[in-house]
Structure 1
Amino acid sequence: MIKSLDTLEFKFPWRSYQAELLKHFNSHIEDNHFHVIAPPGSGKTILGIEILRKLGKKTLILAPTLTIRNQWEDRMQSFFTETSNFEAFSFDVKSPSDITFSTYQSLHAFYKTFEDKNDYYQFFKTHNIETLVLDEAHHLKNAWWTCLMDLKKNSVFHIIALTATPPYDSSRIELSKYFNLCGEVDDEIAVPDLVRESDLCPHQDYVYFSKPEDLEINFIVDYRRKIADFNDEILKDEDFISFLTNHRFYKNPNWHLDELYTDTQYFSAILIFLNACGFEIDHQKLEVLGFEQKEMIQFPKLDLQWLGILFQNLLVTDREQLIEQEAYVLTLEKKLRRLNVFEKNTIDFVGEQLLYKSLSNSPSKLKSIVSIVNAERESLKTDLNCVILTDYIRKEFLNISSEKIDDINKIGVIPIFQYVRHCCDKPEELAVLSGSIVIIHKSILKAFEAIVSLDDFSFSPLEIDASFLLVTAKGKSKNSIVHIITQLFENGNIKVLIGTKSLLGEGWDAPSINSLILASFIGSFVSSNQMRGRAIRKDLDSPDKTGNIWHLACVDPTNLDGGKEVDTLKRRFEAFVGVTNSTIPYISNGFDRLNIPEKIPVESIETLNDSTLKRATNRILISEKWNNAIGKGTKLTKEVKVLKTGNLPYKKQQQIYYFDALRFFVVDLFFAFMLFYVEFAIESFNLILQRGLLYFIYAFLAAFVAGFGYKFYKALKLYLRHGYLYKKIGKMGLAILDTLNELSYLTSTRNAITVNSHLVGKGDVVCNLDGANAFENSLFSKALTQLLEPIDSPRYLIIKTSAFRKRLDIENFYAIPEIFGDKKEKALVFQKHWSHYLGRNKLIYTRNIEGRKLLLKARLFHVYNAFKEVTKEVMVWK
């Protein structure tokens, strides 16, 4: 133990959620990792200092910026020292002390100075540094992780990872690196805890939709028409069909098994295309995949995603293997380039990049911003404190006149400034703050001078409006001007501030913000959550503050679901926890909580926006909903939601999947039987008199089997395949939970945890643990999701089967979750508990020839759901 750390002691009472997190610290740190999600305002810096104090080891604290690095030292001296400052610290990683504060950049630069990396590892051993604190750990998806991973592999450290939002939407490789370094999430401080303790204000997210300009609509419609024409033509193209039927995968699958096993989607795309154009697929080709002659495959529809996979492989991934057909492949390439679907070695029939770029940049969003600002000003009057964040500055529009404002065709800081200046009331309350351009209204010069001397800055009137001034610092850093403009905003001299998310999105603090408009379309979960965090901080000067967060989306008129922009918003909302818009409010993450219709036709946008603006003005209701919803729970619980599939109306879908299909059959059979019996008895009365009662019974049974046998077979097969789905998923959950317990993953008592599985909404199934902690919930939900998702490449498969099931062609394939699939011993434990709850099965190892064949067969069974969202992990306050 380092003696100097004993002198540190937190001077204030711990907040309830902080005390709860610290209570479980010892059990979480047993694997040398403590990974915590803590939103802005939760005091995660103070928690980090308390944790390193508890560990009592020499510590290196790493932060993404110098500002955040310095905050650590300031918090330590302010909150953990009573009479004198703590002296045993350093800001230089090359000269470490008991506590060293540094940045990821500095460590990375230090790492590169060592030619022999063994000297780098030895440096930390020599200085006895045994604890690493990684602040804002989501930044580690960048190159900085390399020097830390190398260090971790060659030494043993306690790793404390703190973040507001893990980078869940990064690539699988980056996310894997992140969790390998930081460990699984151990605990989370929930937003509802912070709202309850008044450390965050009540808040709500709103989506304001816009319709593309006529030029954009014409472009989209023309693009979709060209793709549809190409799709129709290629399905009838005899040359292309011949090209595919002569492809090595289809012509001689036995010769290319390794390739087939490696890239199932490519082979699937070939089969799906041939099936779509009416080509009869030779069943012998499927036998190599483990399908028997009698088995049938339900091929999915050939949509643009499957077409994209097919051509991505033909034109890029597999091209070297098709060198003999290069001339023909080149003609395909030229055709797709003319359609603008093949650029930078990427096929995109959906138009995600091309159309998304057009819609995300749509000037229609400028009108949306004007509508929101006007509505918020009318609602809040002088209390308005609005910030608008976007991605680009667009200086080329700085001197555009009001008469030519409609010529603005891109969204950015200056276009937003021009629209708000021209279309909104009180332009004198408007300002711009970015790294390279600052604009204020001349009416606030006196307030500016009250903060700093005007001699330190130059002020140039704008060409198009002399009442606005361009502000330039004379030898001052940009941080100085940021501080001044922020203070003017906090003082109420500026009511609408437009800036870039790169400058104001992370680390910037202006507690008075009560309306935030996110006009940013480049971003991840992390950046979106950081920007959103600006508006939900409490304001000591306004204890009744509520925050409105506005998200903009330009709707694709050719897509009833809203298109790519709405999809992007839906993914972002997975990282946001908030209160629902429902009559009976509850707290959850996800887009569904806003109660926005699934289908968003263009003609309904105006009505939808009017309703949203009306709801947003009722800020008292937001506070009431938070208070009501918080009172219904004590913690955030992670649930796995199995989504209703298919296009059948809910009542019919319900009968097939979620009710006992056999029970419906019995009811149906009873009425049919009564009619059949009466009719048969009347018609066969003479038969009883002539042949006797026994003959009548035989005749009746024969007629019954002929009339109802097939119906009974279908109902029984349906029941065996689906049964009570929510009960079956509950049993899967029990198998996972008991396996976690037997393998000692649980830190809580097994008897204190129960599996809860039930139906919600319009037919979704929800499954979660009651009585588990955040770490156990995380392990459980991840395992259940992997079990239910379309099969990828697990080491072990479990097949729910029996001789009876196999005869009826109803084998079910499931992937053994990764946590149990790394070793056979663990897989066998899971199989044991599966057998207990779900009956007979086979365990298949997929890394040998027979196993890979069954794996491919399993993938093809799941191919119908390849691009569908089958499950979703949801956070709910309970």
Structure 2
Amino acid sequence: MVSSQFPIFNDTNVININRAPRALSLLSPHFQFIHPWRTYQQRFLTEFNTHLEDNHLHVVAPPGSGKTVLGLEMVQRLNKKTLILSPTLTIRNQWRERMSDFSVAGSEVSISFNIKQPATLTFSTYQSLHSYYKNDLEFSSEKLVAYFKQEGIGTLVLDEAHHLKNEWWKPLFALKQLPNCTLIALTATPPYDSEQNEIRKYFDLCGPVDMEIGVPELVREGNLCPHQDYIYFSEPEAAQIQFILTYREKLMTFVTNLKSNEAFINFVKRHPFYAETEKNLEAIYHEPERFSALLIYLNAAGVEIDKTKTEFLGIDSKKVRFPSLSYEWVTILLNYFLIENRDLYIEEEELLQPIEKDLRKIGAFEQKKINLVGERSLYRKLAQSPSKLKSIVEIVKVESSQLSENLRMVVLTDFIRKEFLDVKFGESITEINKIGVVPIFQYVRNAIKKEAGFPLKIEKLAVLTGSLVIVHNTIVKDLSKVLSAENFRQEILWETEYVLIKPNVAGSKDIVNAMTQLFEAGTIEVLIGTKALLGEGWDAPALNTLILASFVGSFVMSNQMRGRAIRVNRLKPNKVANIWHIACVDPTSEMGGADVALLLRRFDAFCGISLEDKPYVENGADRLNVLQDIKNVKALNSKMARLSAERTKIAQRWHEAIDGGQVLVRELKLSYKEQISYPVLKKLYFKDALTYVLVELSVLFSITLPELLLKNLTTLLSKGALYFMYALLLGFAMVLLPKTVKAVILYVKYGRRDKELRKIAMALKETMAEKGILTNHNVSLVVDQFKDGSLSCYLVGAKAKTEVQFVPYLQEIIDPVTNPRYLIVQSNWLRRKLGFSNYYSIPKIFGEHKNEARIFFKNWKRFNGNAKLVFTRNVDGRRLLLKARFHSYQDEHQIASKQSLIWK
């Protein structure tokens, strides 16, 4: 709804406000924000000129953080004609409304909602821009740029930039070519979960993030309420477990058969990469994964790999260890033959067709994609598991018992599933086999009717979607008070106490508002709806419990849906929100399976408070610590239910965590991929060889030696002390020597990982300072170690923009080598003799030009010692690049890196 201070405008209006002699397109000292800036807003504005250096202003902030007024302030400071684009008309109009927070007295501001009649401020939508680009300009980027250049547009604002669709990219990139154009991008969640090329396009358009406004700051300032995420786990039913077991058995059988398929083995051996390796080195260097997949498959099939195949890479054939033939390698191998280059192997159809047919039978070949890694068939089964419906019922029961009439719960899901509307009470509930609005409604309704003492009253349950509204028959009179009875009719839902509400055209405009009022007042306590209607933009401050029953969508949508629950309620200042996520555990997987994995990845999109122990605020699912007990579903759910009742304690934990920090820090977190206990990790990585040997000796002489003396006292007395001492020393040598050698080798190869990380990060920090990227003089580098053996690295005292750049640059260096332009080989005489070298990529930003790569390498040697800089775009460099990549495949002690946000 547009503020009453201003009239409502259509797309053809060009208007003036408070007619006065000066316009915003000149200088506008009177167009000023009339309220105090929040702390984080002021921090951004203080560094405004620094953020503006690359002509991009990119702000990430959750709903309710004041992005729009901050955007208007940026526009005012830039003082140029501006085009502001939004994804919907509602959001477009909100920009106009927010102008009421600015003083325009004594200033004339011309405004337009029509992209064909630009004014000082033009509010429009991405759809309108694309329509104009398509229909009026016939997809001509040159005409588009010429038009807006003629109109004098100098600032482009992209609101809710995470909404950008494929067809919108081209005109937006074209508009960046406007002379001296400044681009402002505002978003709640960058599309981090999109394909890599989509992520790259997003940041190429919007520029690097200048500031990320964190949830902790908003909670501290009272703009968001304290809240906690919980996961309620379920287990698949017997039929689903059998499906999973059968699926895995079929996959194993397929790979086993592939390894014994003599015809396919001979076919692979005839591939030029293997048959004529030396002649095809250049092609191999361009497709290193392909060559690796060929070798790994043949090795797994029992083929003795000719030593020249690896020696061409500079790898000693005696020391090479081929990785196991994982599903990842099978996928790379078969993608090449069955999809990417199928037309080259027409004569081999008799061989390839049966392999494709077997994959299709399993469900691993769909839409011209081979998918063994993602287990899409398994995910669909788990994501749609009816056991999740039972989980929702249990959550409703838990929360209703805790909050009683104060409960304001919303359940959001993807589909309506109207086909289940006529499910009868009782046994027929088992016919429901999909998640959706109606299935959830039927399950909860059935539980209320069936279970004596169910805490939620039946009349407190309702449904609200764009095409389906259901309320209890006793609620109709309350609905009539907020929505005229003339604007809707009712229809009895067969064999129930509920009615379907059928609004007319006039009623359709107000039905959401009317149902929201009933929900806010407590007439309805549990509202089931779709994320499309209620997931973004819907505002109900009373909402204190949210169940996310959505399995379709992205990080962006997950974050937007959570945003509905964590808004403050001015009528209840002590509001604490619970957000429930549901997942079905695959009992055949050590890590919980595909459904759990997808849910945990989505946690990367938002920050929250840790569940237990010392409170801290961090993004990701580590703060819930569920993977250790993932097989014990009953115990996990019991813990979640118990902790969800402690809402007062949640608020206290937020305040304690917030008081313990000052700012949301972006850090690089390193953890170990292999499941090794922390004591072993500590021996391998955090203790040097000398310390390790001393510890072993102290244990031997303080515990083992006295024990041996007591047990062998008879032998000592009969054969003499000298004989016994020789035997004892020989035994100690046999025990100590292998462990000592292993410790020394590991230390020579890896060093102490915490010290190595610090030296690498220092080289990066100094290079960024030398190149003028890092401008603060009082920036310090911190490396933290944790009990589980993981590490984190971050900057303290850096500007937000620098901090956001530092972490991905460091990750680029640490991660396994892919295809950098320049490569660093870290070795020394002893490492070379033992056959060890470590390989690191020079970040792309420093690797585009030789001089900049040399600056980075100079700083690298300063902190890391002697090394070699290699240009990888010639034959020798490609060869070394392939060796580096193969080296990473063989490393059994790999680390996984992850960008994290944590309040410190």
Q: Secondary structure at the match of 1:149?
A: helix
Shifted more, 704-713 versus 107-116: the winner is: 704-713
Q: Secondary structure at the match of 2:591?
A: coil
Look up the match of 1:694: none
Does the CA-based 8 Å contact 2:847-2:853 persist in structure 1?
Answer: yes
Identity of paired residues, percent?
Answer: 46
Shifted more, 629-638 versus 22-31: the winner is: 22-31
Q: Secondary structure at the match of 1:143?
A: helix
Give me the whole-angstrom Cα distance separating, in 2, the residues matched to 1:181 and 1:740: 23
Shifted more, 376-385 versus 396-405: the winner is: 396-405
Which of these residues, 172, 179, 190, is aligned with residue 166 of structure 1? 190
Question: Does residue 812 of structure 1 match 2:812?
Answer: no
Look up the match of 2:355: 332
> What's the CA shift for 1:261?
2.1
Look up the match of 1:486: 516
Unaligned 5+ segments in structure 2 are 1-23, 449-455, 706-715, 724-731
Which of these residues, 88, 103, 106, is aligned with residue 81 of structure 1? 103
Give me the whole-angstrom Cα distance separating, in 2, the residues matched to 1:626 and 1:663: 40
Does the CA-based 8 Å contact 1:2-1:98 persist in structure 2?
Answer: yes
Does the CA-based 8 Å contact 1:141-1:178 persist in structure 2?
Answer: no
Give me the whole-angstrom Cα distance separating, in 2, the residues matched to 1:718 and 1:868: 13
Give me the whole-angstrom Cα distance separating, in 2, the residues matched to 1:399 and 1:86: 60
Which of these residues, 195, 202, 219, is aligned with residue 226 of structure 2? 202
> What's the CA shift for 1:869?
6.5
Question: Does residue 725 of structure 1 match 2:748?
Answer: no
Does the CA-based 8 Å contact 2:145-2:177 persist in structure 1?
Answer: no
1:570-649 alignment runs, 5 A limit: 570-601=600-631, 604-649=632-677
Give me the whole-angstrom Cα distance separating, in 1, the residues matched to 2:572 and 2:167: 41
Give me the whole-angstrom Cα distance separating, in 2, the residues matched to 1:592 and 1:172: 24
Look up the match of 2:300: 276
Look up the match of 1:49: 72
Letter in 2 for 1:487: Q
Measured against aligned partners, the alpha-carbon deviations of 1:111-145 in whole angstroms (never above 9, x if no partner) come to: 12214432221111111110111110111253212
Does the CA-based 8 Å contact 1:4-1:98 persist in structure 2?
Answer: no
- TM-score, normalised relative to structure 1: 0.93
Give me the whole-angstrom Cα distance separating, in 2, the residues matched to 1:351 and 1:177: 24
Question: Does residue 753 of structure 1 match 2:776?
Answer: no
Letter in 1 for 2:820: P
> What's the CA shift for 1:464?
2.8
Look up the match of 1:743: 771
Does the CA-based 8 Å contact 1:133-1:161 persist in structure 2?
Answer: yes
Look up the match of 1:458: 489
**Measured at CA, do residues 272 and 469 of structure 1 come closer, stay the same or move farther in structure 2, by a change above 3 Å?**
same
Unaligned 5+ segments in structure 1 are 685-703
Look up the match of 1:690: none
**Measured at CA, do residues 504 and 708 of structure 1 come closer, stay the same or move farther in structure 2, by a change above 3 Å?**
closer
Give me the whole-angstrom Cα distance separating, in 2, the residues matched to 1:287 and 1:183: 43
Letter in 1 for 2:118: P
Q: Secondary structure at the match of 2:868?
A: strand
Letter in 2 for 1:481: I
Does the CA-based 8 Å contact 2:30-2:106 persist in structure 1?
Answer: no
> What's the CA shift for 1:369?
0.6
> What's the CA shift for 1:163?
0.6
Measured against aligned partners, the alpha-carbon deviations of 1:362-395 in whole angstroms (never above 9, x if no partner) come to: 1111111110011111100111000000001111
Does the CA-based 8 Å contact 1:210-1:364 persist in structure 2?
Answer: yes
> What's the CA shift for 1:823?
1.4
Letter in 2 for 1:447: D
Shifted more, 610-619 versus 114-123: the winner is: 114-123
Does the CA-based 8 Å contact 2:591-2:627 persist in structure 1?
Answer: no
Does the CA-based 8 Å contact 1:341-1:348 persist in structure 2?
Answer: yes
Letter in 2 for 1:49: L
> What's the CA shift for 1:107?
0.8
Question: Does residue 94 of structure 1 match 2:120?
Answer: no
Look up the match of 1:795: 821
Q: Secondary structure at the match of 1:170?
A: coil
> What's the CA shift for 1:591?
0.4
Does the CA-based 8 Å contact 1:432-1:439 persist in structure 2?
Answer: yes
> What's the CA shift for 1:400?
1.2
Corresponding pairs, count: 853
Question: Does residue 559 of structure 1 match 2:559?
Answer: no
Does the CA-based 8 Å contact 1:801-1:841 persist in structure 2?
Answer: yes
Give me the whole-angstrom Cα distance separating, in 1, the residues matched to 2:62 and 2:733: 65
Shifted more, 731-740 versus 138-147: the winner is: 138-147
Does the CA-based 8 Å contact 2:546-2:578 persist in structure 1?
Answer: yes
Does the CA-based 8 Å contact 1:11-1:82 persist in structure 2?
Answer: no
Measured against aligned partners, the alpha-carbon deviations of 1:339-362 in whole angstroms (never above 9, x if no partner) come to: 222222222234621111111111
Give me the whole-angstrom Cα distance separating, in 2, the residues matched to 1:61 and 1:747: 32
Question: Does residue 193 of structure 1 match 2:217?
Answer: yes
Shifted more, 776-785 versus 223-232: the winner is: 223-232
Q: Secondary structure at the match of 1:389?
A: strand
> What's the CA shift for 1:670?
8.8
Letter in 1 for 2:153: I
Look up the match of 2:48: 25
Which of these residues, 230, 236, 242, is aligned with residue 260 of structure 2? 236
Look up the match of 2:469: 438
Shifted more, 217-226 versus 660-669: the winner is: 660-669
Give me the whole-angstrom Cα distance separating, in 2, the residues matched to 1:666 and 1:615: 45
Letter in 2 for 1:298: R
Q: Secondary structure at the match of 1:634?
A: coil
Q: Secondary structure at the match of 2:589?
A: coil
Look up the match of 1:373: 396
> What's the CA shift for 1:458?
1.7
Measured against aligned partners, the alpha-carbon deviations of 1:31-60 in whole angstroms (never above 9, x if no partner) come to: 111101111111111111111111111111
Give me the whole-angstrom Cα distance separating, in 1, the residues matched to 2:382 and 2:199: 29
**Measured at CA, do residues 409 and 709 of structure 1 come closer, stay the same or move farther in structure 2, by a change above 3 Å?**
closer
> What's the CA shift for 1:717?
3.1
Give me the whole-angstrom Cα distance separating, in 2, the residues matched to 1:833 and 1:479: 64
Give me the whole-angstrom Cα distance separating, in 1, the residues matched to 2:294 and 2:721: 58
Measured against aligned partners, the alpha-carbon deviations of 1:450-474 in whole angstroms (never above 9, x if no partner) come to: 2231101121111232x32212221
Does the CA-based 8 Å contact 2:282-2:875 persist in structure 1?
Answer: no
Shifted more, 809-818 versus 65-74: the winner is: 809-818
Look up the match of 1:69: 92
Look up the match of 1:255: 279
> What's the CA shift for 1:610?
1.3
Measured against aligned partners, the alpha-carbon deviations of 1:720-760 in whole angstroms (never above 9, x if no partner) come to: 211211011001010000000000001322xx111111311
- TM-score, normalised relative to structure 2: 0.90
Give me the whole-angstrom Cα distance separating, in 1, the residues matched to 2:414 and 2:600: 20
Give me the whole-angstrom Cα distance separating, in 2, the residues matched to 1:157 and 1:866: 50
Letter in 2 for 1:197: E
> What's the CA shift for 1:448?
1.6
Does the CA-based 8 Å contact 1:202-1:626 persist in structure 2?
Answer: yes
Give me the whole-angstrom Cα distance separating, in 2, the residues matched to 1:599 and 1:331: 41
1:187-586 alignment runs, 5 A limit: 187-294=211-318, 296-350=319-373, 352-403=375-426, 404-424=428-448, 425-465=456-496, 467-476=497-506, 478-586=508-616
Does the CA-based 8 Å contact 2:69-2:98 persist in structure 1?
Answer: yes
Give me the whole-angstrom Cα distance separating, in 2, the residues matched to 1:838 and 1:301: 33
Does the CA-based 8 Å contact 1:638-1:873 persist in structure 2?
Answer: yes
Shifted more, 858-867 versus 736-745: the winner is: 858-867
Give me the whole-angstrom Cα distance separating, in 2, the residues matched to 1:411 and 1:246: 49
CA RMSD of aligned residues (A): 2.7
Q: Secondary structure at the match of 2:295?
A: helix
Give me the whole-angstrom Cα distance separating, in 2, the residues matched to 1:812 and 1:616: 47
Q: Secondary structure at the match of 1:95?
A: coil
